[in-house]
Chain A
């Protein structure tokens, strides 16, 4: 758990019932790890910041993987009768590209930001359940690796990321790919569910004094909405995946049309999860740009309560629009009308947000830094994707567009132009907070412009391709069917493929930027408050200490940090700076909290998470492996349950190097 005041001996005497045995002796195994410097510390850490960084690194790795899959797809489609991939490999490639980008990149990358910044933004010292947090990360990582091992074990899943039944049955997909897919997503689903519970409790329960809900930064608000969406969406996909696994492994009949099954059951279950899922993907990025736009416009966010509430409204209405993915499936006129109108309705709160962002920039002193560029690009690109989305809400038009490249264009505009641009804005904005160094603005500009141009070159032509009738998931096109004239399918496919290379170059420059920033001696340490930030995460050291704040601030305003730096003259309404960031921090730290007791490291989370893929392999291959996995789950759960989250001081592995675990921090006054 989280933060416990360091005990004084007097209190121990007055203590209630005590646990009779030291926790590390509970199962007679290793002592509690206390390393704080080596790689071992990353394995056993429960610090939300370290877990956030690990989420980020792992998710970025999967981003590269999914990106390479996408480039292979585009290379296959670059020229007529492409020979890069055969049809089977092509099916696996687009399935795993979608699955990887959705479940293994955008979701965990949002989790990375949420983990790192939500506790900082609400003035907490950690999340509510630090061990559960570590467990969530490791489950995601092991689930993702498990999913990708299918490439080497007979082929990956090949049914598309929404895996429609009955195409997903063993008859049409005899390899183990879909079994890996279903089990892998169950494991990452556990990660999302535990993460959701953890962050909801953190946001609701662990806010600093005075941090009312309506004083929380918008990023925290959007994360909260997303966690509620996850909380209720994940169990639905869990059911769908169980039904699928039971059908494939135990011959259940859920999607067996010959037995009278209704394949639409899968579509409904999948999209009841899948449509909230798209808001799960986009809302964190909305939150990130809602932080960045005010900072670089030198204005408060326009209509803060409206932005927060429209995010919540999207969260609610997002549950009532799933069947717009199924307009072509013959739902009947009443259902189609209802879902069509609900889909148009959800454009309203989204539009409200766009207007608020534009109004935030309106009349502001705009600073076109790289994070600002990415944020403005999100507003523009997402609007384009949103407009093509509205054309899907019109059911007759959607029927024409279903399963064409027009759909592919739409969701890449909202997900790449929206979600991913928001995440990149977050990288550039928060890099100096996390790593003390600011990413190079000049390389960053190249990174931005190449990604922007590359993205529009790749996905813009897909609108045309789709309207000209090119179906999605088609592994080859032939020159005979490319159509006539200069601007035929061949032309647009070539442009899109070249665009994907430009886009890749842009992403490569981001990696170059990271390496340059951290290797070059010319890059100086960033100042404490490089962007003139407004929210609490800037009101502490960079990177923050393990306990985040030497003194937990008492919050009196929305944009608390801004209000501590600036004051408004009552008569002239002129805003003047009254303190620098350093002065604000020194003032806050002049009375540090005493006796901060941070949660202790634990190896149970990684062990429990490790058991999950073992169960997965066991279910697919071998009952003995399954038994080992189940035994591991039971043993680690008992170990976890009996281990207090914060150990007594003498209960640590003494041989480990470091500062003795950082489990207690006696703070010297900063003077």
Chain B
């Protein structure tokens, strides 16, 4: 009977009470052995791949189409963007440290590394804002050319993803400090981490295709 009940039990039973059960009975059970939340996050990220796939395709189609305004290689400041890319990639490292601390139930270090990750992410977004402003001054507006429209749309969508990630990180910090996270804290941090790493990986693709490969 117990076995039957356990099968029916949601693997991420997310009340305090359920956690009590968890620690009483051991690991979660689901048909695949993966937690529902994590599986769902992976599915969502799979879907996101197609979103960025569509945006990147649009950019690749239009990057050379400049009827007016600057060409890509006239305005890209590759050293600057390389530095901000490096900052974003380092945030993946700090995210890993945050997940590791959360799994050790070390709230102090979790909060610390989450905050640092959010700061690194904010630095990247700040760099993007600076870059957009500079490009705009140099004559590349959103409506200037097909290159302009597709460049701002692609990198803008990525920037929005990073910003949403920062909000999630800061929300986690706030909710941890006030003990408001229902469910398994380690897994919650890990899921935000999955999203964060995904956004980083997308940036590697965008940086390579948009900035590094000459048009």
Min Cβ gap B20→A in Å is 3
Decide if A594 touches B5 in the complex (CB within 8 Å): yes
A21 to B179, CA, bound (A): 8
Which chain B residue has the least Cβ–Cβ distance from A198?
Answer: B40
Among the interface residues B15, B34, B48, which one has the most CB atoms of the partner chain A within 10 A? Answer: B15
B71 at the interface (CB under 8 A from A): no
Which chain A residue has the least Cβ–Cβ distance from B64?
Answer: A260
Contacts A129-B40, A239-B54 given; indicate if A209 touches B3 (C-beta within 8 A). Answer: yes
Which chain B residue has the least Cβ–Cβ distance from A251?
Answer: B143
B51 at the interface (CB under 8 A from A): yes
Decide if A644 touches B149 in the complex (CB within 8 Å): no
A153 at the interface (CB under 8 A from B): no
Decide if B142 touches A252 in the complex (CB within 8 Å): yes
A526 to B14, CA, bound (A): 39
Chain B, residues 5-22, CB within 8 Å of chain A (1/0): the string is 101111111111111111
A251 to B146, CA, bound (A): 11
Decide if A261 touches B65 in the complex (CB within 8 Å): yes
Decide if A254 touches B11 in the complex (CB within 8 Å): no
Contacts A19-B181, A593-B1 given; indicate if A236 touches B149 (C-beta within 8 A). Answer: no
Chain A, residues 201-228, CB within 8 Å of chain B (1/0): the string is 1001111110100000000000000000
B182 at the interface (CB under 8 A from A): yes
Among the interface residues B9, B12, B22, B178, which one has the most CB atoms of the partner chain A within 10 A? Answer: B9
A262 at the interface (CB under 8 A from B): yes
A residues 224-241 near B (Cβ < 8 Å) are 231-236, 238-240
Among the interface residues A4, A128, A205, A638, which one has the most CB atoms of the partner chain B within 10 A? Answer: A205
Contacts A193-B47, A235-B47, A259-B146 given; indicate if A21 touches B180 (C-beta within 8 A). Answer: yes
B74 at the interface (CB under 8 A from A): no
Stretch binding the partner chain, chosen from A9-17, A307-315, A356-364, A510-518: A9-17
Min Cβ gap B139→A in Å is 15
Stretch binding the partner chain, chosen from A143-151, A291-299, A645-653: A645-653
Stretch binding the partner chain, chosen from A49-57, A242-250, A373-381: A242-250
Stretch binding the partner chain, chosen from B23-31, B123-131, B205-213: B23-31
Decide if A643 touches B182 in the complex (CB within 8 Å): yes
Decide if A593 touches B19 in the complex (CB within 8 Å): no
Min Cβ gap A261→B in Å is 6
Decide if A644 touches B1 in the complex (CB within 8 Å): no
A196 at the interface (CB under 8 A from B): yes
Min Cβ gap A56→B in Å is 25
Decide if A20 touches B51 in the complex (CB within 8 Å): no
B55 at the interface (CB under 8 A from A): yes
A81 to B96, CA, bound (A): 70
A415 to B185, CA, bound (A): 47
A2 to B46, CA, bound (A): 24
B100 at the interface (CB under 8 A from A): no
User: Within 8 Å CB of A262, what residues of B?
Assistant: 61-62
Decide if B7 touches A642 in the complex (CB within 8 Å): no
User: Within 8 Å CB of A4, what residues of B?
Assistant: 9-10, 13, 15, 17-18, 21
Decide if B180 touches A19 in the complex (CB within 8 Å): yes
B183 at the interface (CB under 8 A from A): yes
A19 to B5, CA, bound (A): 25
B residues 99-119 near A (Cβ < 8 Å) are 105
Contacts A197-B40, A646-B14 given; indicate if A17 touches B180 (C-beta within 8 A). Answer: no
Min Cβ gap A548→B in Å is 9
A640 to B185, CA, bound (A): 16
A194 to B132, CA, bound (A): 33
A129 to B82, CA, bound (A): 40
B58 at the interface (CB under 8 A from A): yes
Contacts A206-B31, A231-B47 given; indicate if A12 touches B20 (C-beta within 8 A). Answer: yes
Q: How many residues of A contact B (CB 8 A)?
A: 77
B94 at the interface (CB under 8 A from A): no
Decide if A205 touches B34 in the complex (CB within 8 Å): yes
Chain B interface bracket (under 10, 10 to 19, 20 to 34, 35 or more): 35 or more
Decide if A642 touches B182 in the complex (CB within 8 Å): yes
Chain B, residues 164-183, CB within 8 Å of chain A (1/0): the string is 00000001000100111111
A2 to B179, CA, bound (A): 23
Min Cβ gap B214→A in Å is 20
A647 to B65, CA, bound (A): 56
User: Within 8 Å CB of A12, what residues of B?
Assistant: 17, 20
B residues 43-82 near A (Cβ < 8 Å) are 43-44, 46-51, 53-55, 58, 61-62, 65, 67
User: Within 8 Å CB of A124, what residues of B?
Assistant: 8
Which chain B residue has the least Cβ–Cβ distance from A548?
Answer: B8
User: Within 8 Å CB of A436, what residues of B?
Assistant: none
B84 at the interface (CB under 8 A from A): no
User: Within 8 Å CB of B10, what residues of A?
Assistant: 1-4, 128, 206
User: Within 8 Å CB of A197, what residues of B?
Assistant: 40, 43-44, 47
Decide if B36 touches A552 in the complex (CB within 8 Å): no
Q: Which of B3, B31, B36, B58 contacts A239 (CB 8 A)?
A: B58
Q: Which of B16, B61, B67, B149 contacts A252 (CB 8 A)?
A: B149
A411 to B43, CA, bound (A): 31
A646 to B19, CA, bound (A): 12
A596 to B7, CA, bound (A): 12
Decide if A17 touches B1 in the complex (CB within 8 Å): no
B residues 176-208 near A (Cβ < 8 Å) are 178-183, 185
Q: Which of A201, A240, A250 contacts B143 (CB 8 A)?
A: A250
User: Within 8 Å CB of A645, what residues of B?
Assistant: 14-15, 182
Min Cβ gap B60→A in Å is 11
Decide if B142 touches A250 in the complex (CB within 8 Å): yes
Q: Which of A14, A204, A554, A595 contacts B31 (CB 8 A)?
A: A204
Decide if A204 touches B178 in the complex (CB within 8 Å): no
Min Cβ gap A393→B in Å is 25
A246 to B24, CA, bound (A): 53
18 more CB-based (< 8 A) A-B contacts, given A128-B10, A272-B54: A1-B10, A2-B8, A11-B20, A11-B24, A18-B19, A18-B20, A20-B178, A20-B180, A205-B36, A209-B3, A231-B47, A236-B54, A238-B54, A239-B58, A246-B149, A551-B4, A552-B4, A552-B5
- Pairs A-B, 4 closest by C-beta atoms: A15-B20, A239-B54, A2-B10, A18-B16
Q: Can you give 5 contacting A-B residue pairs, CB < 8 Å?
A: A4-B17, A197-B44, A205-B11, A259-B65, A642-B175
